[in-house]
Amino acid sequence: MMVSGSMSSGYCSLEEDIEDYFFTAKENLSRRSVKVQHEPAEEKKLDIQELKQKIEIFNKMVQNGLVMKMAEDGTYTGFIKVHLQLKRPVNVSHTSQAPSIYTKKEVSSDKAKEKMTPFNVPLDAMKQLHISSVTTVSEVISGLLQKFQVVDDPLKFALFKKMQRDGQVLFQKLAVMEHPLYMRLLAGPDSNVLSFVLKENETGEVQWDAFSVPELQNFVLILEKEEREKVQQVQKKYVTIRQHLQGALNDTKKN
């Protein structure tokens, strides 16, 4: 696999040719205990010699050839995996071909159909990105949205790092100017030690004013659909219980 010689911040999927999908981002923007961890953004930066040593150690440990490569100016490229754990549908441009991972949602508004189509992203979706050491969290988010043709505001999303410590799963929301590849290098290639997760940018109470009318209409449709499905599940449950009880009564009468 060929890696672009450019050290500018860029992205591509591992399963596709890097030269075809390498681009520069324009935006700057177990049930065991699960906690949100708030820690200092990044550790003290390493000098070039320390970086070289870290990269050498990383490349000896990594599998599948996903090595990091360093340039003369001290920047380097490598791969990160981002798991998409989005609870709400995303909006994809109606004029573009939607990626195959999406599950389409119905929208009744003709105006909404002209601009965007809502899709559900599977909770187990994962994307492998080729990025640079200068690629920021903000650029990773924007790059992911562009890759999946999502037209939602990048500020609606946040990148978290997921860690396991002392039997606990910890999530830490990353600042937009942090550098994920540097974190990957420090943590090593083991995804159990560190992994990246894209989630909705939850800031507490939902700011409904931030959503467009078509988005709000779609939320109503989704809630109505989920309500119908829940009612059907409850009704089916009690029909089954009633049948079992009636069967038990019939058996008792026979005896």
What would the pLDDT profile of 110-146 be if each residue is shown by its tens digit?
A: 444 446 677 888 877 889 999 999 999 999 999 999 8
Looking at the domain assignment, is residue 100 inside a domain?
no
Looking at the domain assignment, is residue 244 inside a domain?
no
Looking at the domain assignment, is residue 255 inside a domain?
no
> Strand 76-84 and strand 103-104: pairing?
unpaired
What's the total number of domains in the chain?
1
Looking at the domain assignment, is residue 231 inside a domain?
no
CATH number, domain at 49? 3.10.20.90
pLDDT at 173 (0 to 100): 92
User: pLDDT below 70 — which residues of the chain?
Assistant: 1-44, 94-116, 203-208, 210
Looking at the domain assignment, is residue 181 inside a domain?
yes
Q: How far apart are CA 25 and CA 9, in angstroms?
A: 7
pLDDT at 170 (0 to 100): 87
Domain that holds residue 150: 10-86+123-204
pLDDT at 3 (0 to 100): 33
Looking at the domain assignment, is residue 185 inside a domain?
yes
pLDDT at 106 (0 to 100): 45
CA neighbor of 110 nearest in space, from 209, 212, 214: 214
pLDDT at 2 (0 to 100): 34
Report the Cα 189 to chain-centroid distance in Å.
18
Looking at the domain assignment, is residue 239 inside a domain?
no
pLDDT at 117 (0 to 100): 75
Looking at the domain assignment, is residue 170 inside a domain?
yes
pTM given for the model? 0.60
